[in-house]
Amino acid sequence: MTELLLNHLGGQWIAGTGAGTTLHDPVLGDALVRVDSTGLNLPAHFERVRAQGGAALRAMSYRERAGLLKAIVAVLQANRDAYDAISTANSGTVKNDSAVDIDGAIYTVGVYAKLGETLGDARVLADGDIAPLAKGGAFGSRHVQVPTRGLALCINAFNFPSWGLWEKAAPALLSGVPVVVKPATATAWLTQRMVQDVIEAGVLPAGALNVVCGSSAGLLDALQPFDLLSFTGSADTAALLRRHPAVAERSVRVNIEADSVNSGLLMPGATPGSASFELLVKEVAREMTQKSGQKCTAIRRVLVPEALYGAAAEAIGARLAKVTVGNPRNASVRMGALVSRAQFEAVQAGIAQLQSVAETLHDGRGAALIDADPAVAACVAPVLLGTRDPDAHGLLHVTEVFGPVATLMPYRDLDHARALVARGEGSLACSLYGEDDDTAADALAATALDLAALHGRVHVVTPAVAALHTGHGNVMPQSLHGGPGRAGGGEELGGLRALNFHHRRAAVQAAPAVLSRLTPAA
């Protein structure tokens, strides 16, 4: 029998009372560990988390809590090798892809530690200036932001067990809000181990960081009015959560990061082999294959001027043809597995669905896997699809196949391209590929502003930043993550903006003598 991972709530390690769900190696098929949340008295545990963890965190200043984040970074760095091994075993990722998850997380916590220091010894945040409510300012109104008195329930998707945990936990802990993380079952091991390491290192007050592994049953029922729900996952699950009484009746504040059919757009004027053309080709191939395409931000739709459809198909296909797929333990493998055999089946079905309306421009699935049994391993090689008539096929604009899959689409002019992008109904990220001259910069800025209404982030790549840009799909803590419409309507990260979600804004109306004492900066 494999090890049963423990849950941690309110300072206690607690085993589920059921048989548990077994997590598997998606390449070898081996059983790894089990998770189980059966029998937990969640309302009682959550109450302790709020009382213990919340009170201890709120008693500290932002600077002190930034110190906690710094200590977490040290713990995670010290155990990095173990995380890499768990990633290989449970997520089937090659080293570079594991690093996106693990190092991306450590970097994010580090950024919040630094941002927290800038807030100094305050315990509340000022929000705007005093607004006079009486003649001469003898009575006025000042807005303050105070940490919410509840807990943050963070429910994560399977593709980022490390980054997904810490990009949510870091702003919450810095705000003074205790965290209960519920990782996706398929890859819960890495999340659980990181929480365990941080708890065992004794760097956080009891109750500040908690983990529930296994079924989500009962988690939302235990939420109270001042709690927060931060969800990352599919639009279908998000729709369920939005209807739950905790959200619909008890006004639990909710942030949703859902799926998204992101696009990459090569600006008009490019030619085969021009710098912007090459930048788009390189980025599309990388986006399709990094983490086997299991990134919510990955480019799914590739828009090029119609004269370049053939050249782009050829150039992207040529790059994809070099991608070796199989067992991530083999040094010659560039792309590992999807997270599970269930995802393998879902991705194969998704490709078939898109193929019903699109042509296949590159299909790597004919090549043999390296060091992996195709009957067992959840490995899918990259597939580039295409259509010469993108207006005719709505399916291609709203279907997210969560694997190494993208669709190439030609556009007539920039208005047509923007209309096609808009058919994604709101996405996390869009990238534009153009040149460096002033005319190009004018067009890029105007297009970025136009597309900003449909996206959480617009990423503009030109030759001048070819070696500097952070990548279409990489989520940087300094920039907003989230997107309108089908992307969930959420907002995460964005530097200190992330703290807004974890604070309650209130107006205090009083005489200047009182208002000036509310915050150190007043």
- Of 262 and 327, nearer to ligand NAP (C-beta) is 262
- Of 119 and 188, nearer to ligand NAP (C-beta) is 188
What's the rounded Cα separation, in Å, for the pair 155 and 168?
9
What's the rounded Cα separation, in Å, for the pair 261 and 425?
8
Return left, alpha or beta for 196; rule: phi > 0 is left, psi -120 to 50 is alpha, else beta. alpha
Cβ 346 to ligand NAP shortest distance, Å: 9
Q: State how beta strands 140-147 and 503-510 pair.
A: antiparallel
- Of 58 and 472, nearer to ligand NAP (C-beta) is 472
Return left, alpha or beta for 110; rule: phi > 0 is left, psi -120 to 50 is alpha, else beta. alpha
Cβ 153 to ligand NAP shortest distance, Å: 9
Report the interface residues with ligand NAP, using CB under 6 A: 155-160, 182, 184-185, 216, 219, 232-234, 237, 240-241, 257-259, 296, 400, 402, 428, 488
Which candidate, 176, 124, 123, 168, places its Cα nearest to that of 149? Answer: 176
Catalytic residue at 154? Answer: no
Cβ 38 to ligand NAP shortest distance, Å: 13
CA of 151: how far to CAs of 177, 185, 207, 336, 408, in Å? 6, 21, 10, 36, 44
Catalytic residue at 117? Answer: no
What's the rounded Cα separation, in Å, for the pair 35 and 483?
32
- Of 152 and 444, nearer to ligand NAP (C-beta) is 152
Cβ 481 to ligand NAP shortest distance, Å: 6
By beta carbon distance, the residue nearest ligand NAP is: 233
Rounded to 10°, the helix 163-175/188-201 angle is: 40
- Of 93 and 327, nearer to ligand NAP (C-beta) is 93
126-159: buried (b, 16+ CB within 10 Å) or exposed (e) per residue? Answer: beeebeeeeeeeeebebbbbbbbbbbbbbbbbbb
Cβ 43 to ligand NAP shortest distance, Å: 16
What's the rounded Cα separation, in Å, for the pair 62 and 69?
11
Of 257, 435, 491, 492, the catalytic one is 257
3-state secondary structure of 507: strand
- Of 218 and 272, nearer to ligand NAP (C-beta) is 218
Of 154, 213, 296, 430, the catalytic one is 296
Q: Could you please report the per-residue DSSP string of 344-406?
A: HHHHHHHHHHHHTTSEEEEEGGGSPPBSS-TTT------EEEE-S-TTT-THHHH----SSEE
Cβ 134 to ligand NAP shortest distance, Å: 46
- Please list the active-site residues: 257, 296
